[in-house]
Amino acid sequence: MNPTKPVHKVRLGTIESAVWENKLSEGKPYYKVTFCRNYKDGDEWKTTESFGRDDLLVLAKVADQTHSWIFEHPPGK
């Protein structure tokens, strides 16, 4: 497994989550999750960790789907 790539992503519209597998010092795996919003600045796509009012329900849905995936795929299995 490549430690620089997420093990899973969920994306709805411009909102995205990335699931990262990490290991505790004793070697036990666990997940961490990051969220971002993609936007276009001119011709260039960028990301931010800032969300507006209209992003929040989509962010909640992405978080819910990410949560479901994590429970269906225990780390290290």
- Confidence band (pLDDT; 50, 70, 90) for 77? confident
Instruction: Give dist(CA 8, CA 74) in Å, integer.
Output: 12
Could you tell me where the beta strands, DSSP code E, fall in the chain? 8-12, 15-23, 29-41, 44-48
8: pLDDT strictly greater than 90: yes
Asked, for residue 65, whether it belongs to a domain, the answer is yes
Could you tell me where the DSSP H helices lie in the chain?
A: 56-72
Asked, for residue 59, whether it belongs to a domain, the answer is yes
Asked, for residue 51, whether it belongs to a domain, the answer is yes
How many folded domains does the chain comprise?
Answer: 1
Res 24: pLDDT: 84
- Confidence band (pLDDT; 50, 70, 90) for 3? low
Asked, for residue 29, whether it belongs to a domain, the answer is yes
* pLDDT tens profile 24-73: 878 889 999 999 999 999 999 999 999 999 999 999 999 999 999 999 99
Asked, for residue 1, whether it belongs to a domain, the answer is no
2: pLDDT strictly greater than 70: no
Asked, for residue 77, whether it belongs to a domain, the answer is no
Full domain range(s) for residue 52: 8-72
Mention every residue, 6+ apart, whose C-beta is less than 8 A from residue 66: 8, 10, 17, 19, 33
